[in-house]
Structure 1
Amino acid sequence: MIYQKLRGTDLKVSEIGLGTNAVGGHNLFTDLNEADGIEMVDAALQLGITFIDTADIYGKGRSEELIGDVLKRHNRTDVVVATKGARRWFEDGSVVVDNTPEYMRTALERSLQRLKTDYIDLYYLHFPDLKTPLVEAIGELTKFKQEGKIKAIGISNVSLSQLKEANVHGDISVLQSPYNLLDRSAEEELLPYTRENNISFIPYGPLAYGLLGGKYTEEFKLTEGDWRKGQPLFEQEAFKKNLKIVSRLKEMAEEKETTVTNLSLAWLLSQEGIDAVIPGGKRKDQVILNSLTSDVTFAQNELDLIEDIVKG
């Protein structure tokens, strides 16, 4: 396993992390097995994966609770825990985005309790609420940092203008945003800005929400309740086109004696400014496969071939 330092922080993370929206994320996926999720997180830590990413909205607190249970069985200082706050849920099932300093503090305290820890390594503002000035919301997070409750500040799901507003005082260390071989829109504005401003870019959806796992066929259908419904990558015509790209990437991966999963993650890590990836999963075997990514390297002609494949 290779370890990298997140920019502007003292946090050293495994370049292969673990996204945990399917660990207790019953509001995002159907038929989740919590025992499988716990086993997967345990396996990740045993493999040397030290970067665990969650959010309070995953399972409306349940993901954090399960990860907190796992952390109790490991040395806390060996694990870099990232979580996110800003989505507020109510008993009637409704969810709103709330960036007010008052709610952000409430969200943080609840996350600390669920994770069974007295600090969080990386705390993200999960979504902008389009009401609260971002400088106010991030200002509250800087207070958390001063108080020792968090070690670094991140932000997610923002446009370039929102990122600039949030980072007006240089407080942002990490941006989390969609980026993968099938969705490269981050290269237009966000990635150049993070490179120039010493901000680590952590892609979410690095495997295009399962597409780059290489197992889907044209007959695949998302089930009701699956949060990926409505994602542009899964719209009928785009889905067919993406499957053809994945098929060619699989051929290349086989020639390199690897998998399309590992090839896709390794490609991301080869991009300047990408310090870690956080592929998700539901089972132990998936995290074992992901851990092999660091063994994959590219010659320039192979990177050129990937460009040709993706651009058709």
Structure 2
Amino acid sequence: MNQHIILGLWPIAGVTTIGVTRENAIATIHAAIDAGIRQFDTAYSYGLQGEADERLGAALKDLDGATRDEIQIIGKVGQRYGEDGVRMNDGNPETLVVDAENSLRRIGIRCFDTLMLHCVDDEVPIEASAWALQRLMQRGMAKRVGVCNATPEQRAAFASVVPCSAIQCPLNGLQQDALSNEIANAKEHDCDAWVYWTLMKGLLAGKIERDHVFAEGDSRPNYPIFQGAARERAHDIVDKLKEIAADTGRSVANLSISWAVSQPGVTAALVGAHRPEQIADFRTAGPLPKAVRRQVNELFATSSDSPEG
């Protein structure tokens, strides 16, 4: 069982990922389970109609009782789609409660293992959002709660209302600010730190070439890391990662994810996939041997001035 990897279900929602099918999405979840992955991360806003929730629920129905008991589900509320189809933050307590209830209904479960505030709503005091999650936990709809994409100060304000058991924040070799900020703060307060963007939208998987042309509708070219000098610098890093990966018998994706989960304070990495064969790249990802970790650290140190993506 791989406790270092959480399957992130944003890709299978099909909002920004091209060519997603319901059949492949469900098969991907089963492939992850077969590979020993037992933690799954979804959200009310993963899909215009809750596709990630629904597909997770469909996959869970196929499991035997013993395997189902091992599965841990992380849910998130606090983002939803407006009437114009644009995703927005909404931390109003009433909305959080309704969206959590609907997300549970879509999945077909009664309780989240962890329920998180997806994003801080600047229009709503975070303490009010935390109160709503506390009430959901008291109603037996979440075993514990946490907050994503929050500063240490915001995490502390959240924790003043209800214990904050986990955070989510971005981390990869090209973007390391969270190590000395959010992750260090979480470690200090005995809080799980789950990191996403470990492959930086596929860039650190080593499969996007310098001359790659993204399909129409792909959102990745909008990120600064995929533009100009930042992208060239990233490709230089990836070229050297390929050499280390070959020497250690790993894929570049496995090496990049393993680096992330090797960092102090990191509990697990959220990794997305929407096709079953993609699971093979990270099914064995875990903390790196010291010598390899040192080698990758030295390589990523050259990217410390890369712009955020």
Q: TM-score, normalised by structure 1?
A: 0.90
5+ residue gaps in structure 1? 3-13
Amino acid at match of 2:176: R
Amino acid at match of 2:57: G
Amino acid at match of 1:67: L
- Residue equivalent to 2:264: 272
CA change 1:94–1:291 in 2 (3 A) is closer
Measure, in 2, the Cα distance between the counterparts of 1:229 and 1:151. Answer: 38
**Residues 213-261 of structure 1: CA deviation (Å, up to 9, x unaligned):** 1111111233343233422221221111101101101101111111111
- Residue equivalent to 1:71: 60
- Residue equivalent to 1:201: 193
CA change 1:35–1:266 in 2 (3 A) is same
Measure, in 1, the Cα distance between the counterparts of 2:257 and 2:86. Answer: 35
Count of residue pairs the alignment pairs up? 298
Are residue 80 (structure 1) and residue 69 (structure 2) matched? no
Alignment of 1:157-172 (within 5 A): 157-169=149-161, 171-172=163-164
- Residue equivalent to 2:51: 62
Amino acid at match of 1:33: T
- Residue equivalent to 1:180: 172
Measure, in 2, the Cα distance between the counterparts of 1:215 and 1:92. Answer: 34
Amino acid at match of 1:308: E
Measure, in 1, the Cα distance between the counterparts of 2:46 and 2:219. Answer: 11
1:170 to partner: Cα distance:
5.5
Aligned-residue CA RMSD (Å): 1.6
**Conservation of the 8 A alpha-carbon contact between 2:131 and 2:162:** no
User: Which of the residues 33, 42, 57 maps onto 1:45?
Assistant: 33
- Residue equivalent to 2:6: 17
Are residue 308 (structure 1) and residue 298 (structure 2) matched? yes
Q: Which runs of 4+ in 1 moved over 6 A?
A: none
Measure, in 1, the Cα distance between the counterparts of 2:275 and 2:192. Answer: 28
**Residues 155-193 of structure 1: CA deviation (Å, up to 9, x unaligned):** 111223222222224511111010011110102311110
Partner of 1:278: helix, strand, or coil?
strand
Amino acid at match of 1:303: R
- Residue equivalent to 2:103: 111
- Residue equivalent to 2:307: none
**Conservation of the 8 A alpha-carbon contact between 1:100 and 1:137:** yes
**Conservation of the 8 A alpha-carbon contact between 1:28 and 1:59:** no
**Conservation of the 8 A alpha-carbon contact between 1:180 and 1:208:** yes
- Residue equivalent to 2:232: 240
Alignment of 1:115-134 (within 5 A): 115-134=107-126
5+ residue gaps in structure 2? 303-309
1:88 to partner: Cα distance:
2.4
**Conservation of the 8 A alpha-carbon contact between 1:28 and 1:58:** no
**Conservation of the 8 A alpha-carbon contact between 2:104 and 2:110:** yes
- Residue equivalent to 2:305: none
**Residues 75-132 of structure 1: CA deviation (Å, up to 9, x unaligned):** 3322101121112224442333110110000110110111111111111111111011
Measure, in 1, the Cα distance between the counterparts of 2:115 and 2:210. Answer: 38
**Conservation of the 8 A alpha-carbon contact between 1:16 and 1:293:** yes
**Conservation of the 8 A alpha-carbon contact between 2:237 and 2:299:** yes
1:46 to partner: Cα distance:
2.0
- Residue equivalent to 1:33: 21
Q: TM-score, normalised by structure 2?
A: 0.91
Partner of 2:74: helix, strand, or coil?
strand
Measure, in 1, the Cα distance between the counterparts of 2:22 and 2:228. Answer: 31
Are residue 143 (structure 1) and residue 135 (structure 2) matched? yes
Measure, in 1, the Cα distance between the counterparts of 2:110 and 2:272. Answer: 25
